[in-house]
């Protein structure tokens, strides 16, 4: 059976962390295996090339991983951001208006959440380059033209939202955006909450990162952000080589991010000009464009003077110098405050940080897919296709698909077809042959096995084994499609579609679809 080239689809529907499922762009797709001592060999980056064996196994104080004087760092960061924030022409980047009305700030929050989602889904696991930015901007502008306000979005159907979202993937994010808009309209007078904790607790799909980003950008609240880019940036800045998903590591990184948006210690005028939303956006921008996964541009980094990973990499050819850098951060009085999170590191370079996530091998599953087509008779131009709506939770939630039996083990393709027909078609389906006298009853005219299609999701490698099953006849005088089982309010919706004959002449064919929602009312496709 032929097998088609597979596509990689990193659909986070297997991760139910809302909008804040960790951005995998901070980590390698295929990390190297570590030994039993958990020492990981790393390739050398241009920003640091020496292999200083065990240089960072020297005990060090946990104070190494604290930003205790953020003001000069933030000033340098914002000065850099002021010169680059308009370079990529992102329409959602707007200056903070401290005198904006509540409605204006609520609209800004809506624009911010849309920008976060579209940007996240497009740059997951890839570096944000100009071509990707252009695509995201096109989606953003198209969305804002269709749904200019949160209230306009709340009135939309999930079908309208998915149709506009088509091409970005991660459809669950679009559905959660719709659910969040509907809740905001119903319970918060059409405005997203202006408090990050309240937003995180009450708006579907909003986690700590998104709530912090939205409330700092739109409302000026001093709350931090920590996405994949900022995680990578701060891990290097603090020389934090620890298990990235552990609570201890996350607490350290969130504390560092919070320090960066802390109110400045100097005069009130400075406090008014250093808005937390600008700082958070600057950190994200710096992580995505300068402190990249591979080949970081350390020479262009505005805060490299304070970056510990950069300092170690520069001193890497002198192991004792590196050890002294570590020991200088730790006095005798600090021994009881020694860092217990960092692990031994070899192959010192900036890109050694953060410690890479060890990905679990994707489990493999085989799904049998039947494209069920019905015609009144074999030569009819009128055609109907059965679509089934997936459950509202889990992989590809709420989307339509051809009838499918998931995770097949021992069943044959023929037995799967029988099971699918029995599940969805109310009328008996016969197997007939020419001259049997049963050609007018509902029967299987032909089964054409099309081959395999492989999709690799984040945690699963699915092989879809596809067959085209042609059903003909009904036995009814009106030649209507066979009724669907289980009493669901299935309905048919016809769509005109053009197909070319072999001679190239265009003819109109009525290609329609019967749509069945599991456990819900019928849905028009």
Q: What band does 413 get if pLDDT is binned at 50, 70 and 90?
A: confident
Is residue 3 predicted with pLDDT exceeding 80? no
Q: What band does 31 get if pLDDT is binned at 50, 70 and 90?
A: very low
pLDDT of residue 296: 95
pLDDT of residue 438: 60
pLDDT tens-digit readout, 275-310: 899 999 999 999 989 999 999 999 999 999 999 999
The residue among 362 and 168 whose pLDDT is bigger is 362
Q: What band does 391 get if pLDDT is binned at 50, 70 and 90?
A: confident
Q: Facing residues of 471 across strands?
A: 374, 444
Domains annotated on the chain, with CATH: 62-352 (1.10.340.30), 363-493 (3.90.79.10)
Both tokens of residue 299?
């020479």
Both tokens of residue 436?
């049997």
Q: What band does 486 get if pLDDT is binned at 50, 70 and 90?
A: low
Summary mean pLDDT of the chain:
74
d(CA 323, CA 319): 6
Of 21-30, 64-73, 316-325, which range is least confident?
A: 21-30
Question: What is the mean pLDDT of the segment spanning 96-117?
Answer: 79
pLDDT winner (highest mean) among 88-92, 386-390, 516-520 = 386-390
Is residue 133 predicted with pLDDT exceeding 90? no
d(CA 119, CA 121): 6
Is residue 404 predicted with pLDDT exceeding 70? yes
Q: What band does 126 get if pLDDT is binned at 50, 70 and 90?
A: very low
Among 109, 101, 126, residue whose Cα is nearest residue 215:
109
pLDDT tens-digit readout, 157-177: 988 998 888 877 777 888 888
Q: What band does 331 get if pLDDT is binned at 50, 70 and 90?
A: low
Three-state SS for 115-182 is HHHHHHHHHCCCCCCHHHHHHHHHHHHHHHHHCCCHHHHHCCCHHHHHHHHCCCCCHHHHHHHHHHHH
pLDDT tens-digit readout, 7-25: 433 333 222 233 343 332 3
Question: What is the mean pLDDT of the segment spanning 222-244?
Answer: 94
Of 78-92, 222-236, 315-329, which range is least confident?
A: 315-329
Query: What percent of the chain stands above pLDDT 70?
Result: 68
DSSP state, 291? S
The residue among 456 and 505 whose pLDDT is bigger is 456
Neighbours of 159 (CB within 10 A): 13
Active site residues: 125
DSSP state, 194? S
Alpha-carbon dihedral sign for residues 166, 167, 171, 177: negative
pLDDT of residue 333: 42
């Amino acid at each position: 059976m032929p097998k088609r080239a597979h596509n990689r689809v990193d659909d986070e529907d297997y991760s139910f962390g809302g909008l804040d499922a960790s951005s995998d762009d901070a980590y390698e797709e295929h990390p190297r295996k570590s030994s039993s001592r958990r020492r990981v060999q790393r390739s050398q980056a241009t920003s640091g090339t020496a292999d200083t064996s065990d240089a960072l196994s020297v005990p060090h104080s946990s104070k190494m991983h604290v930003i205790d004087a953020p003001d000069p760092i933030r000033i340098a960061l914002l000065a850099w951001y002021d010169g680059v924030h308009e370079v990529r022409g992102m329409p959602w980047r707007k200056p903070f208006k401290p005198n904006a009305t509540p409605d204006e700030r609520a609209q800004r929050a809506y624009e911010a959440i849309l920008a976060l989602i579209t940007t996240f889904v497009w740059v997951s696991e890839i570096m944000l380059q100009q071509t990707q930015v252009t695509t995201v901007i096109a989606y953003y502008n198209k969305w804002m033209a269709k749904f200019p306000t949160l209230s306009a979005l709340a009135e939309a159907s999930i079908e309208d939202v998915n149709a506009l979202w088509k091409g970005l993937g991660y459809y669950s994010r679009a559905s959660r955006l719709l659910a969040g808009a509907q809740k905001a309209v119903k319970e918060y007078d059409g405005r997203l909450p202006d408090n990050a904790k309240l937003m995180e607790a009450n708006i579907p799909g909003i986690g700590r990162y998104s709530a912090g980003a939205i409330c700092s950008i739109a409302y000026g609240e001093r709350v931090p952000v920590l996405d994949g880019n900022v995680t990578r940036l701060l891990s290097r800045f603090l020389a934090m080589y620890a298990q990235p998903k552990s609570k201890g590591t996350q607490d350290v990184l969130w504390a560092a991010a919070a320090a960066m948006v802390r109110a400045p210690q100097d005069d009130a005028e400075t406090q008014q000009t250093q808005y937390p939303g600008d700082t958070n956006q600057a950190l994200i921008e710096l992580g995505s464009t300068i402190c990249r996964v591979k080949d970081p541009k350390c020479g262009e980094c505005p805060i490299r003077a304070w970056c510990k990973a950069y300092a170690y990499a520069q001193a890497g050819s002198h192991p004792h110098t590196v050890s002294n850098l570590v020991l200088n951060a730790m006095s005798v009085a600090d021994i009881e405050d020694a860092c217990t999170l960092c692990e031994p590191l070899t192959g010192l370079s900036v890109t050694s940080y953060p410690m890479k996530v060890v990905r679990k091998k994707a489990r493999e599953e085989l799904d049998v897919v039947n494209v069920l087509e019905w015609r009144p008779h074999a030569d009819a131009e009128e055609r109907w296709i059965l679509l089934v709506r997936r459950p509202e939770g889990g992989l590809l939630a709420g989307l339509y698909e051809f009838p499918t039996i998931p995770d097949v083990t021992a069943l044959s393709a023929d037995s799967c077809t029988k099971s699918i027909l029995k599940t969805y078609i109310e009328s008996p389906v016969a197997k007939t042959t020419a001259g049997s006298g049963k050609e007018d009853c509902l029967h299987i005219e032909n089964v054409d096995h099309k081959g395999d299609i492989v999709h690799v999701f984040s945690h699963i490698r699915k092989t879809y084994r596809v067959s085209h099953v042609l059903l003909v006849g009904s036995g009814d005088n009106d030649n209507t499609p066979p009724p669907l089982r289980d009493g669901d309010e299935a309905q048919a919706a016809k769509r005109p579609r053009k197909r070319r004959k072999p001679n190239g002449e265009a003819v109109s064919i009525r290609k329609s679809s019967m749509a069945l929602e599991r456990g819900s009312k019928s849905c028009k496709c």
